[in-house]
Amino acid sequence: MIDKNNKNAETVFTDGVSQSALAKNLGVSRAQVRTLIDKGVFEIDEAKRVSLSAAVEAYKEYQKTIDQNKRNKGRKAATKLIEDIKSSIDVGDDFESTYKNWLSQIENNPIAVLNAAKAYMTAVQTKQEKLKLDELEGRLYSIDRINADAEKIGLAIKSKFSSLPARIATVCEGRTARDIEEIISDEINNCFAELQKLFIK
């Protein structure tokens, strides 16, 4: 408060305290008090003292503004991150419920949602990196590779067995049923043996 009783007197706060005393009262450093004076949050009188009551209220409002700014930044960052996770990361089947839960909490607790989304993304990326490493080191095969190998095997089997009738027809001519059965069985076994050499190292 300012003493206005004496118009000729210098401007002096009736509850003025030193900057050091204010810092101690607010639980901050003297440097921070100086910064807040420079920002215009605190006013000083002619004696370079600060009104304790005005400073306490101003500091509360300042902290509210800082907290709101943090919440706004956290909300913006959390919203962007969870949308990035949803659109660009190969998430599990349970993600939809996690996503809805984040959206329901983002207004009231954006920082917690942001931290949870960061942890989730790190876990997913770590899992994906492990899968890539397992694939490179031969402990895991991608579905594309499995499909390609299956197609290759299918074509090889088709090629081997489609030529079988023509190859054994002349050999079977004039043979007994038992002989023909043995000839066909031997040829089939030969085909499997040749295929095994192609695909089993």
Question: What pLDDT score does 6 carry?
Answer: 41
Contact 54, 43 (CB under 8 A): yes
Contact 85, 93 (CB under 8 A): no
- Amino acid residing at 174: G
Question: What pLDDT score does 91 carry?
Answer: 63
Question: What pLDDT score does 93 carry?
Answer: 66
Question: What pLDDT score does 7 carry?
Answer: 42
- Cα separation, 23 vs 54, in Å, equals 14
- Amino acid residing at 138: G
Question: What pLDDT score does 62 carry?
Answer: 94
Question: What pLDDT score does 92 carry?
Answer: 64
Query: Exposed, middle or buried by CB within 10 Å (0-12, 13-18, 19+), for 99?
Result: middle
Tokens of residue 142, six digits: 């991608």
What does the DSSP assignment read for 123-165? Answer: HHHHHHHHHHHHHHTTS---HHHHHHHHHHHHHHHHHHHHTHH
Q: What is the pLDDT along the chain (201 residues), one digit of tens a residue?
A: 444 444 444 578 999 999 999 999 999 999 999 999 999 999 999 989 999 999 999 999 999 999 999 889 999 999 999 888 888 766 666 788 888 889 899 988 999 999 999 998 888 888 878 877 777 776 766 677 778 878 888 888 888 788 888 888 888 888 888 888 888 888 888 888 887 777 665
24 C-beta neighbours (distance < 10 Å), count:
14
Question: What pLDDT score does 201 carry?
Answer: 56
- Cα separation, 113 vs 179, in Å, equals 76
Question: What pLDDT score does 38 carry?
Answer: 94
Question: What pLDDT score does 11 carry?
Answer: 76
Question: 50 pairs with which residues across the strands?
Answer: 17, 44
Provide Rg for the chain, Cα atoms. Answer: 40
Helix ranges (DSSP H) in the chain: 19-26, 30-38, 52-88, 95-105, 110-136, 143-162, 164-172, 177-199
- Amino acid residing at 192: F
Query: Exposed, middle or buried by CB within 10 Å (0-12, 13-18, 19+), for 120?
Result: buried
Tokens of residue 22, six digits: 């204010």
- Cα separation, 43 vs 196, in Å, equals 88
